[in-house]
């Protein structure tokens, strides 16, 4: 394989790799979640800075056009790799060769240096990015989003562990990437401790929230809009219905609250927004059956994933958003809810202690006891007005513009470092640029 020296200037074009899920997919179902939101928001803001973005994702339908303009300056390229439908995420490693070939062929139609950087999302994309990096001689920036070793250490009862093949694949990508992007300090530590990542190449770049879309509003009007009674006590869950996200713990919490205060039944309402995903597909009606066993089927309302503007109305209509996940690399749902002025009760795991400021924008809960969650929900309800103001202030500190700016800095530093290394090897006398700084 012949490597081509690419002398970097300003970052002009990014190849973004998202093998297993498209930024055009609706978050909250299948494999679409916070990562999809991340790619959409970051890509748009890079384009606003004059940086073109090509997002490569696997085609999942023969009806999809090969190229879709997602927004000005952002193009989604649907790559044929394996059968269009009926292919699970665990089967995708066998299609990485086909996917990689399509990515390399697209670049080969242009002059050398067409892409300035490769940004891969999730380990499958990292495997493709590793080969593109070596072929194009541009840096590989990698965002893991979730880590197999961390997920397996916090596995929900009955959930399937991540396979060893994924662990090995993640280790390889961590070794090869020029920069690793972590959402939080906690994730950065996990990369270093569990995967041997180089701390100098591991950057903390927090995600953001769309503060124009997710903003406070008239709660009474929001309740009328989504069909919630004006006097209801509304607990909200938003996310994929799978053991990792633990919507079952919210239902058990609601049942415990009723056991403690039977009169609450007249007002309590639990909203669950999402669709089965991952191992949750094995028993797609498990949550409905659990609600029936707990005697709260009449209080729990299951809704499909909602488009962003409608989702914002649901956040505004809720008294409390509950995020009881076994692990989260960050927790964008918590941030979106807070941006709408809705306090959050969340598990004190992963990135959630960053996404939620305990005692200021919500309450963090250690452990998995429904009684502890019920107590936390009651505490939030008792201080909702104060916590609502704190939630808005906390969310306002997170900005997708700041995320995009930090990523551009990482892209530029990695490109300069790679050019310095290549020229130094050719006798140019340039030294390698030193370790990267943490972006905050």
Answer yes or no: is 372 a known binding residue.
no
How far is Cα 54 from Cα 76, in angstroms, rounded to an integer?
A: 6
Is residue 33 part of an annotated ligand binding site?
Answer: yes
Strand order through the sheet with 52-58? 67-71, 74-79, 52-58, 13-17, 117-121, 140-143, 179-182, 202-204
Q: Is 315 annotated as a binding residue?
A: yes
Annotated ligand binding at 327? The verdict is no
- Under a CB-based contact definition with an 8 Å cutoff, are residues 360 and 380 in contact? no
269 labelled ligand-binding: no
The rounded distance, in Å, linking the Cα atoms of 153 and 149 is 6
Q: Is 190 annotated as a binding residue?
A: no
Task: In whole angstroms, give the CA distance from residue 176 to residue 320.
Answer: 42
Q: Does the annotation place 152 within a ligand binding site?
A: no
- 306 annotated to bind ligand: yes
- Asked whether residue 34 is marked as a ligand-binding residue, the answer is yes
Q: Is 38 annotated as a binding residue?
A: no
Longest dimension (CA), the chain: 80
Q: What tokens appear for 10 in the block? A: 């300003």
Q: How far apart are CA 291 and CA 34, in angstroms?
A: 26
In angstroms, rounded to a whole number, what is the distance separating the alpha carbons of residues 171 and 149? 10
Q: Binding site annotation covers 44?
A: no
Give the span between the Cα atoms of 404 and 207, in whole angstroms.
Answer: 9
31 annotated to a ligand binding site:
yes
- Is 145 annotated among the ligand-binding residues? no
Q: Is 35 annotated as a binding residue?
A: yes
The span from the CA of 187 to the CA of 147, in Å, is 9
Q: Output the CA–CA distances (angstroms, integers) from residue 410 to 1, 146, 200, 417, in the order listed.
A: 27, 20, 12, 11
> Residues for the chain: how many in total?
440
CA–CA–CA angle 179, 57, 182 (5° rounding): 25
- The two three-digit tokens of residue 359, written as one number: 């005692």
Phi, psi (deg, nearest 5) at residue 121: -125, 120
32 is in an annotated binding site: yes
What does the alpha-carbon distance between residue 17 and residue 242 come to, in Å, rounded to a whole number?
Answer: 25
The verdict on whether residue 421 carries a ligand-binding annotation is no
146 among annotated binding-site residues? yes
Q: Is 151 annotated as a binding residue?
A: no
| Pair of tokens at residue 230 | 């004006």
- Which residues contribute to the annotated binding site for Mg(2+)? 315-316, 318, 342
- Which residues contribute to the annotated binding site for UDP-N-acetyl-alpha-D-glucosamine? 26-27, 34, 240, 245, 306, 328, 336
- Which residues contribute to the annotated binding site? 20, 26-27, 31-36, 89, 122, 146, 166, 240, 245, 306, 315-316, 318, 328, 336, 342
- Which residues contribute to the annotated binding site for 1D-myo-inositol 3-phosphate? 20, 31-36, 89, 122, 146, 166
């Amino acid at each position: 394989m012949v490597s081509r020296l690419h002398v970097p200037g300003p970052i002009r074009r990014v190849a973004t790799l998202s093998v297993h899920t498209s930024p055009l997919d609706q978050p909250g179902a299948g494999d679409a979640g916070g990562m999809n939101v991340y790619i959409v928001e970051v890509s748009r803001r890079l384009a606003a800075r004059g940086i073109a973005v090509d997002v490569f994702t696997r085609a999942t339908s023969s009806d999809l056009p090969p190229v879709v303009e997602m927004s000005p300056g952002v193009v989604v390229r649907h790559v044929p790799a394996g059968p269009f439908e009926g292919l699970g995420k665990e089967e995708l490693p066998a299609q990485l060769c086909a996917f990689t070939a399509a990515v390399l062929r697209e670049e080969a139609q242009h002059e050398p240096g067409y892409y300035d950087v490769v940004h891969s999302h999730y380990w499958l994309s990292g495997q493709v990015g590793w080969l593109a990096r070596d072929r194009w001689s541009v840096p590989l920036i990698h965002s893991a989003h979730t880590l197999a070793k961390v997920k397996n250490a916090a596995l929900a009862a009955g959930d399937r562990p991540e396979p060893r093949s994924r662990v090995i694949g993640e280790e390889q990508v961590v070794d090869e990437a020029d920069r690793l992007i972590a959402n939080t300090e906690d994730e950065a530590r996990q990369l270093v401790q569990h995967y041997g990542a180089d701390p100098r190449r591991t950057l903390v770049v927090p995600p953001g929230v769309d503060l124009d879309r997710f903003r406070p509003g008239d709660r009474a009007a929001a309740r009328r809009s989504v069909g919630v009674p004006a006097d209801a006590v509304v607990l909200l869950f938003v996310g994929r219905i799978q053991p990792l996200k633990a919507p079952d713990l919210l239902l058990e919490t609601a049942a415990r609250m009723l056991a403690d205060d039977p009169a609450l039944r007249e007002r309590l309402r639990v909203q669950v927004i999402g669709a089965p995903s991952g191992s949750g597909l094995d028993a797609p009606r498990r949550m409905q059956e659990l609600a029936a066993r707990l005697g709260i089927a009449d209080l729990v309302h299951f809704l499909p994933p909602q488009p962003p503007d409608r989702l914002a109305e649901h956040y505004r209509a809720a008294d409390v958003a509950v995020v009881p996940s076994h692990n989260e690399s960050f927790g964008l749902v918590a941030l979106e809810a807070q941006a709408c002025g809705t306090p959050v009760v969340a598990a004190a795991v992963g990135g959630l202690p960053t996404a939620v400021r305990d005692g200021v924008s919500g309450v963090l809960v250690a452990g998995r006891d429904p009684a502890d969650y019920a107590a936390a929900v009651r505490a939030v309800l008792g201080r909702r007005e104060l916590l609502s103001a704190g939630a808005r202030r906390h969310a306002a500190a997170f900005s997708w513009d700041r995320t995009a700016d930090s990523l551009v800095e990482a892209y530029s530093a990695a490109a300069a470092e790679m050019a310095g290394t290549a020229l130094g090897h050719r006798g140019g006398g340039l030294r390698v640029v030193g370790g990267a700084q943490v972006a905050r």
